[in-house]
Amino acid sequence: MIKTDYIWRINNLDVFYTNETNGGGDYFALEYIEVVKQWYASVDHVLEWCSGPGFIGYGMLATGAAKNVTLSEMYLPAIDIAQKTKEQNATYTNNINIVHGKNLENVTGKFDLVVANPPHWPSIDSAAKSLGFDPTQIDHIEDILVDTDWESHKQFFINVKPLLAKDGRILLQQNSNGSTANDFKQMTLDAGLAISFTAQSEMYADKGIYYIEVVHA
pLDDT of residue 99: 98
- In this structure, the number of other CB atoms found within 10 A of the CB of residue 197 comes to 11
Give the residue ranges of the chain where pLDDT is below 50. Answer: none
Q: Give residue 104's region: left, alpha or beta (phi > 0; psi -120 to 50).
A: left
pLDDT of residue 126: 87
Distance CA 165, CA 76 (A): 28
Range of the domain at 68: 6-216
Domain count, the chain: 1
Classify residue 1: in a domain, yes or no.
no
pLDDT of residue 4: 75
pLDDT of residue 124: 82
Residue 132 belongs to domain with CATH number = 3.40.50.150
